[in-house]
A and B are shown apart, each in its own frame.
Chain A
């Protein structure tokens, strides 16, 4: 069964506007962590933001925020004030458990294109 689902193969946004990238997950663990990574065409995976399952506040990191809805098992990434450099592939990932074992399960990714 798919544990991380990203239903948007591609998204387009105008420069300076906000965009939301969707992510839903499936786990029976009470403790887990959710991550978003950016992968430019050069290939490196760049960490953007982390949300722990017990964190009550939505995570924020600069222009990135994570809209965490635990009951709906969703962890959407919101990028505010999009920039041309935000054009890349974005992956949602999950680590199950309390962190004692760190395997990540990734979604299929969403390609974001920012138009000038």
Chain B
């Protein structure tokens, strides 16, 4: 395993188009998180999966956003009818279950979305 992989690294899209991002976590990590980071700010939590179950969604995740994690492996984040305010870095992270000595999260390099 080489870490958390996110594709694409960059995406430029026209306002109103749909986009989909993919995250491949570390294989033994059953937890997966999506964050959004706007320029000059810290990442903000969007949603969280344990295996294939989506256990929490932030209020930031409007109806235009949907995330899936079929079979508890990779995850996709789709944004429908993109708006300029969606321009941000979308970060994916994965982690082991709780009660491990190391409560570490491994982040991917992110997908930078620009809506024009």
Residues on A with C-beta less than 8 A from B40 are 109
Residues on A with C-beta less than 8 A from B99 are 99-100
Contact across chains for B104 and A99 when beta carbons are under 8 A apart: no
Which residues of B approach A to under 8 Å, CB–CB?
Answer: 31, 33, 35, 40-45, 48, 55-56, 89, 91, 93, 95, 98-99, 102-110, 112
8 examples of A-B residue contacts, CB within 8 angstroms: A43-B110, A47-B104, A99-B98, A102-B31, A102-B103, A104-B33, A107-B42, A108-B42
Assembly CA distance A106 to B48 (angstroms)? 16
Contact across chains for A99 and B103 when beta carbons are under 8 A apart: yes
Contact across chains for B103 and A43 when beta carbons are under 8 A apart: no
Determine the main DSSP class of B at the interface with A: strand
Which residues of A approach B to under 8 Å, CB–CB?
Answer: 4, 33, 35, 37, 42-45, 47, 50, 52, 91, 93, 95, 98-109
In the complex, number of A-B residue pairs with CB atoms less than 8 Å apart: 65
Q: Considering residues B31, B98, B99, which has the most beta carbons from chain A within 10 angstroms of its beta carbon?
A: B98
**Out of B41, B45, B102, B107, which one reaches A103, CB within 8 Å?**
B45
- Known: A91-B42, A99-B98. Contact between A104 and B105, CB under 8 A? yes
Residues on B with C-beta less than 8 A from A35 are 105
